[in-house]
Amino acid sequence: MDTKRVAVGKILTTHGHRGEVKIWPWTDFPQRFRPGTKLWLRSRQGSERVTITSSRPHGRHLILKFAEIPDMAAAERLRNAILEVDPWEVEPLPPGRYYVFQLIDCEVFTVEGEFLGKLKDVQKTGANDVFVVVTREGREILLPALKKVVKEIDIHKKIIKVKLLPGLLD
């Protein structure tokens, strides 16, 4: 079974000569990178499982050491590799909060029951996120991800119910 993994960071460069790497974390949970944690490392050579043996902050980045990477030469091949976890390994979120990967492909309905389409993307705009819903005809509907619009999310049934504001479908 091919499971779509969730990206949690990117290896930027090597750090020192002992095989450490500097990463850019793509998560709000830096504890995700604690020693003993297993991650998938996706690079040009494919995917491999790695285990973190040490982790420390370095400005906005982190310095990681993997058990499987003994030296700088081995670490050098990891430059630009993506660090991933399986979907069931993500850090839990508080109630009412969702990861984007949980929302993608949800069917979107109005609160009255009209099918609008499937959620294909979530755009970060600064003020609020925007749900990109694609209709059966291939048209995009942009819905602000606001409480007054998004009324219900059921990630287990993959359904989102929305209340359309005047002009949203124009």
In the chain, CATH 2.30.30.240 sits at 100-162
Mean pLDDT score across all residues of the chain: 91
Domain 100-162 annotated CATH 3.40.50.12160: no
Domain 6-89 in CATH 2.40.50.140? The answer is no
Q: pLDDT of 29-49, one tens digit each?
A: 888 899 999 999 998 889 999
Residue 19 neighbours by CB distance under 10 Å: 22
Contact 99, 93 (CB under 8 A): yes
pLDDT above 70: residue 170:
no
> Is the model's pLDDT at 2 over the cut of 60?
no
> Checking DSSP bridges between strand 159-162 and strand 61-66, what pairing results, if any?
unpaired
How much is the pLDDT for 1?
A: 37
Cβ–Cβ under 8 Å, residues 131 and 143: yes
For residue 137, the model assigns a pLDDT of: 95
- Please name the amino acid found at residue 73: A
Kindly state the average pLDDT of the residues 80-104.
88
3-state helix, strand, coil in the chain (%, to 5): 10, 45, 45
Quick one: which of 139, 147, 127 has its CA closest to 169? 139
Domain with CATH 2.40.30.60 in the chain: 6-89
